Amino acid sequence: MIKKYVQQNRQLVVLLAVFLFLLGWSYLAQYTSSTAISYSEFLAQVDKGNVEQITVKGENIHGRLNTPATFNDASYTSFSTYLPSFGDPELMSKLKQQGVQVNTEPKSDRILWYIVISLLPLLLIFWLIFMQYKRMQGQGGGLFSIGQNQARQYDHSQEKTTFDDVAGAQEAKIELQEVVDYLTDPDKIQDMGGKIPKGIMLVGPPGTGKTLLARAVAGEAGVAFFNITGSDFMEMFVGVGAKRVRNLFQDARKNAPCIIFIDEIDAIGRRRGAGLGGGHDEREQTLNQLLSELDGFEAHENIIVMCATNRPDILDPALSRPGRFDRRIIVELPSTQDRLELLHLYTREKQLDDEVDLDRLARETQGFSGADLENMLNEATLLAAREDRGSISHAEIEAARDKILMGLKRHGLVMTEGEKRMVAYHEAGHSLVGAFLPNADPVYKVSIVPRSQSMGATQQFPEQERYIYPREYLQDKLAVMMGGRCAESLVFDTATSGAANDLQQATKMARKMVLEWGMSGQFEHMALGSAGEQVFLGEELGKGKEYSEATSQAVDKEVETILRDAFDRARDILSRHRSALDDLAQSLLDHEEVAGEKVYSIAGISR
């Protein structure tokens, strides 16, 4: 406790130490230079006429002799002694008689010290308050700067982001180019009677480069860029967020032309009046302020407000009304071509082995965002550096990709032989079903290396990007998902908890097929409603289902039928190719990882 306090207030401790030292030193200084003698020795020297002068200060007497004398075997000329407490009325006349020069001083010159000492606590308190204040300022604002604008204004001359830094996202760039043109030459478009939207909303999954794009617009146009994140508006006090919004727009007006960018706007832009658990006064006030600021400025002010979100579904509809964020730009996950561009972009300054095939890598990174790809290549670089390699090989990239897809390897995990066999058969089941079914995505790799997210994994990658899913594809996919559980029941005549995730995903997909895609026998060509992937509390609770309880039961029945069919198809395949299943499982136990080609050769399928 004390130790911690000392560490936190080092300056204070040093100050105290210096103070104590000075106090002690001033005391000592008075005595070290002179010899302490007895009062009678002093009187004897006075009587001898050997005392030159003395200084009397209270009871203390200091003085000097004309010629050195000895006291207790020590020779001295400077001395100090004390007046007896009962006084000595004859002393003064003796001194006068001997012609000793007598100085008197007030009893103490420590008055100054008394003042300092009595003021010290006060000084300390002031000092502590000052330090506390400084510390709070260090931590983002502190009490005294609440309400001030949190937006960081980027100096565009320093780090200029341009569209060249953004790979892919072609459509978004084309749309945003208009904004750039407007900001660089606003009169041109206005003269032609054109109207530029003042609010632009970038919508897309995380890591697809929304923030990057916004910054690039500012960079291309060479205007100031006010960047603030939705959660920055939130403070502990109601009304602060609203004040921040006001200040932000004020600052922006002073710096026009400029771009205001509100990242992650869902933090404040969530639908009002929704949500459980008490009021959201602060958030709603902030949102209201934002809406009124958006309405309040005119197109000719040359301010473009951009925002980004990956949850457009939960935003308040008022935000996207005309005149506000009425232009919506979708930033998709990169396509194969985009991924190739991204890979080229991020390997520009990296040393790659010749064998690394970026085209192939682009095909085999379905569903990766720009940020994921960047992360993957960075991991690969670190791995290569750890192994003291001058360049990055395919193996490192592959390892990095697996880490992103399936999580970290768990080296410490010890599985029993029986558990390993179970996992091997489970994964072999998935991949064999995948290999045999014509409409399923090709099997890329199977692994039973335990990782943070699963005990094993089967990776499949489609040959091409898919934007629509035919029923046959979905049915095959379901059968592949069932392949794991199916192998368990076929070989070990049991079921394990390892299939939990498979079953969850399969059920979710089957529900979508019934409810949203009209793919079940009874509800063919009928969209009953949403399978409720991300239920937004509050909204969903008040709404209820769009269909009756009886229909609900029928839906469950249909889902069950679909899942049972999928399971039966998987079992059909696995029992017909039982020896391939055994071979693949054994191969997995031997090597932990088996490549897709090997899976097909074990299955006896030529591709």
How many Cβ atoms from other residues are within 10 Å of residue 179's Cβ? Answer: 23
**Options 45, 80, 211, 458; binder of Mg ion; rule CB under 5 A:** 211
Footprint of Mg ion on residues 87-106 (CB under 5 A)? none
**Residue with Cβ nearer Mg ion (95 or 330):** 330
**Residue with Cβ nearer Zn ion (324 or 445):** 445
Element (H, E) at 228: strand 224-229
Please, what is the minimum distance in Å from the beta carbon of residue 144 to Mg ion? 30
Please, what is the minimum distance in Å from the beta carbon of residue 202 to Zn ion? 36
**Residue with Cβ nearer Mg ion (265 or 555):** 265
Sign of CA dihedral 140, 143, 145, 150: positive
User: How are beta strands 199-203 and 303-309 bridged, if at all?
Assistant: parallel
CA distance 532 to 270: 18
Please, what is the minimum distance in Å from the beta carbon of residue 188 to ligand ADP? 29
**Residue with Cβ nearer ligand ADP (300 or 344):** 344
Verify cis geometry, omega within 30 degrees of 0, for the bond prior to 257: yes
> What residue has token string 């089941």?
429
Please, what is the minimum distance in Å from the beta carbon of residue 459 to Zn ion? 12
CA distance 545 to 603: 46
- The per-type count for the chain, helices as H runs and strands as E runs, is 22, 14
211 binds ligand ADP (CB under 6 A): yes
Q: Which pair of structure tokens corresponds to residue 562?
A: 């679909």
Contact code string over 21-50 relative to Mg ion, x by CB under 5 A: ------------------------------
**Residue with Cβ nearer ligand ADP (12 or 371):** 371
- Which one of the listed residues 41, 341, 427, 488 is annotated catalytic? 427
- Read off φ and ψ for residue 512, nearest 5 degrees: -65, -40
**Residue with Cβ nearer Zn ion (240 or 480):** 480
Please, what is the minimum distance in Å from the beta carbon of residue 429 to Zn ion? 8
> At 434, which amino acid appears?
G
229 binds Mg ion (CB under 5 A): no
- Read off φ and ψ for residue 75, nearest 5 degrees: -85, 140
Stretch near Mg ion under the rule CB under 5 A, chosen from 210-218, 524-532, 538-546, 592-600 = 210-218
Residue 570 interacting entry, from Zn ion, Mg ion, ligand ADP, none, C-beta within 5 to 8 Å by type: none
Contact indicator for 380, 400 with CB cutoff of 8 Å: yes
Stretch near Zn ion under the rule CB under 5 A, chosen from 93-101, 120-128, 177-185, 477-485 = 477-485
Measured torsion, CA atoms of residues 503, 508, 512, 513, in degrees rounded to the nearest 10: 0
Residue 397 interacting entry, from Mg ion, Zn ion, ligand ADP, none, C-beta within 5 to 8 Å by type: none
Footprint of ligand ADP on residues 468-487 (CB under 6 A)? none
Please, what is the minimum distance in Å from the beta carbon of residue 208 to ligand ADP? 4
Q: Find the residue with minimal CB distance to ligand ADP.
A: 370
Helical ranges in 387-523 per DSSP H? 394-406, 417-436, 471-492, 500-515
502 binds Zn ion (CB under 5 A): yes
Contact code string over 369-388 relative to ligand ADP, x by CB under 6 A: -xx--x--------------
342 binds ligand ADP (CB under 6 A): yes
Contact indicator for 596, 444 with CB cutoff of 8 Å: yes
206 binds ligand ADP (CB under 6 A): yes
- Read off φ and ψ for residue 326, nearest 5 degrees: -90, -10
Element (H, E) at 67: strand 60-71
Residue 318 to residues 235, 295, 315: CA-CA distances in angstroms? 23, 11, 8
Please, what is the minimum distance in Å from the beta carbon of residue 204 to ligand ADP? 6
3-state secondary structure of 57: strand
427 catalytic residue (yes or no): yes
Please, what is the minimum distance in Å from the beta carbon of residue 233 to ligand ADP? 18
Contact indicator for 376, 365 with CB cutoff of 8 Å: yes
484 binds Zn ion (CB under 5 A): yes
Contact indicator for 216, 165 with CB cutoff of 8 Å: yes
**Residue with Cβ nearer Mg ion (161 or 211):** 211
207 binds ligand ADP (CB under 6 A): yes
Angle at 222 between CA 218 and CA 228, to 5 degrees: 35
How many chain residues interact with ligand ADP (CB under 6 A)? 18
How many chain residues interact with Mg ion (CB under 5 A)? 1
Footprint of ligand ADP on residues 301-320 (CB under 6 A)? 308
Contact indicator for 45, 65 with CB cutoff of 8 Å: yes
**Residue with Cβ nearer Mg ion (80 or 211):** 211
Footprint of ligand ADP on residues 143-182 (CB under 6 A)? 166-169
**Residue with Cβ nearer ligand ADP (61 or 343):** 343
CA distance 220 to 214: 10
Angle at 522 between CA 516 and CA 528, to 5 degrees: 30
Please, what is the minimum distance in Å from the beta carbon of residue 568 to Zn ion? 18
Sign of CA dihedral 246, 251, 256, 260: negative
3-state secondary structure of 71: strand
Catalytic residues, by residue number, are: 427
The residue ranges that bind Zn ion (CB under 5 A) are 484, 502
The residue ranges that bind Mg ion (CB under 5 A) are 211
The residue ranges that bind ligand ADP (CB under 6 A) are 166-169, 204, 206-212, 308, 342, 345, 370-371, 374
